[in-house]
Amino acid sequence: MKKNLLLLLAAGLTFSTVQSQEMKDAMLYAQSELQGTARFTSMSGAFGALGGDLSSLNVNPAGSAIFNNNQFASTMGFYDTKNNSNYFRTSTTASENTFDLNQAGGVFVFKTRDPNNSVKKFSMSINYENTNNYNNSLFSAGVSPINSIANYFTSYATGVELELLRNSNYADLNNGEQQAFLGYQGYIINPVSDTDKNTLYTSNVRSGGNYYQENSVYSNGYNGKLIFNSAVQINNLYFGLNLNSHFTDYVQDTNFYESNNNTLDLGDDGVSNLNFSNSLHTFGSGFSFQFGTIAKLNDNIRVGFTYESPTWYNLQNEFSQRLTSITTNIKESRPPNVVDPVIINYYAPYDLQTPGSLTGSFAYIFGKMGLISIDYKYKDYSNTEFSPENNPVFRAQNSIMQNSLGSSNEIRVGGEYRIQNLKLRGGYRFEGSPYKDSVTVGDLNSFSGGLGYNFGSIKLDFSYVHVHSTSQEQFFSQGFTERAGINTYKNNYTMTFTFEM
């Protein structure tokens, strides 16, 4: 029997192998942002055929053999993100900013003294890159004339016996059963019949009108990459290898609020307000490698090619939920119904493979005046997959990703103009949508600019990057699949201090 005021089911941790991973979770790690040194970002990362910058190793590992001297660099960045949301013609805005270490590393160059030796240089380097900054804030609000979040709980409850929802503990259920359990214990859904074997449910939310809804998403964390690099110059050819260690820590808190003043028949109860909160913590590590080459065709022209392997992650999730609802009838309001398991679901570790990529690069050097560089990158996101494959949830999600995701083309163009010790830079980046519908996440466009000054053994560089992208934010994965249209604007400012010896 349901308890009206407060349902405290258990306290502490519960361990489970059954979890619910979604495509958008995988895409957090499959995509990366433009991060790195100020010179690199000001030219939109078009460094595949250039090298000579610590962040260029992220594009082509052969780039470390371009260096003539040992070099150390550190980069700090300020990130400002604004999300404009449109949900049923209601516009809202949320923003977030953060200050963080963007890059730090060094390269050691060993030159051969014999001019007749075909091996001219050998280099070793280590570099840290903050490939994703997850600090973000998103708020959507509007009035839906169609659906209530009750459909979310009903979809999970359909097929689940009433006896399970009445007599079980939240901690003993799998993810889908837990959603049904919350909906039943929170008075959001009612059984069609009162028998233990009942498997059909209806909404208890007051219906027949409009539903005011708010969805808030707050996230923080990072995805970092530590690069161990070695490269060699053989005559006018450069070859390099990266061994990459990835590590991530991501926290997301979501809160969905719904209210309505729809009419009730005399004596009937119905939910008029509800608040559904979810908290997810994902952390883990991964590995990938890269192989690249650069060829100096003459004093002016360079070409490059890079293969980047898939990244193999091992991740863990911690997940908790809380539901509050208010039921009313014609005569009175009731105390809130609070379903708070006070439990953190701790899931078994799982694996995620994100796709590899191929990059082709071209650069033209105008002597000491400047340069222009172009990179083209191909990446097939349909190769993203969870494992182990014998997990039915992972198998279903892998099928969805294969059908929904496709290949993406990325183009980066950068240029630099030198006025003695001063360098002026600019760039453009386009990345096609990884989704076949090009709507779930749209194309990305980015412009960048910056300048640098060479003081001799010390260099100081600044950059500005503006990014615009669009997406459709789906609040829940099934039952209630309303979406808000999101326009995201990012303005990133970075400063790099470089010491050369």
Question: Average pLDDT, stretch 323-328?
Answer: 89
Beta bridge partners of 466: 447, 491
Residue 164 lies in a domain: no
Beta bridge partners of 110: 122
Residue 12 lies in a domain: yes
Beta bridge partners of 303: 295, 362
Give the pLDDT confidence score for residue 393 in this predicted structure.
85
Residue 128 lies in a domain: yes
Which tens digit of pLDDT belongs to each residue from 25-71?
999 999 999 999 999 999 999 999 999 999 999 999 999 999 999 99
Nearest to 320 by CA among 335, 340, 350: 340
Token reading at 370:
């400047």
Nearest to 61 by CA among 301, 300, 430, 361: 361
Residue 181 lies in a domain: no
Within 8 A by CB and 6+ apart from 134, the residues are 28, 219, 220, 221, 222, 223, 250
Which comes out higher in pLDDT, residue 343 or 10? 343
Which tens digit of pLDDT belongs to each residue from 228-257?
999 999 999 999 999 999 999 999 999 999
Residue 484 lies in a domain: yes
Give the pLDDT confidence score for residue 444 in this predicted structure.
96
Side-chain-facing half-sphere of 126: CA atoms under 13 Å = 2
Token reading at 231:
């490269």
Residue 170 lies in a domain: no
Question: Average pLDDT, stretch 409-436?
Answer: 97
Q: Structurally, how many domains does the chain consist of?
A: 1
Q: E strands within 235-356? A: 237-259, 270-296, 301-308, 311-328, 337-340, 343-347, 350-354
Nearest to 295 by CA among 242, 241, 235: 235
pLDDT above 90: residue 269: no
Q: Can you tell me the distance from the alpha carbon of 436 to that of 88, in angstroms, rounded to the nearest whole number?
A: 24
Q: How confident is the model at residue 332 (pLDDT cuts 50, 70, 90)?
A: low
Which tens digit of pLDDT belongs to each residue from 72-84?
999 999 999 999 9
Q: How confident is the model at residue 495 (pLDDT cuts 50, 70, 90)?
A: very high
Residue 258 lies in a domain: yes
Give the pLDDT confidence score for residue 3 in this predicted structure.
45
pLDDT above 60: residue 331: no
305-309, 336-340, 393-397 — most confident range? 305-309
Q: Can you tell me the distance from the alpha carbon of 70 to that of 242, in angstroms, rounded to the nearest whole number?
A: 18
Residue 218 lies in a domain: yes
Give residue 64's domain range. 6-149+205-500
We report the CATH number of the domain holding residue 127 as: 2.40.160.60
pLDDT above 60: residue 330: no
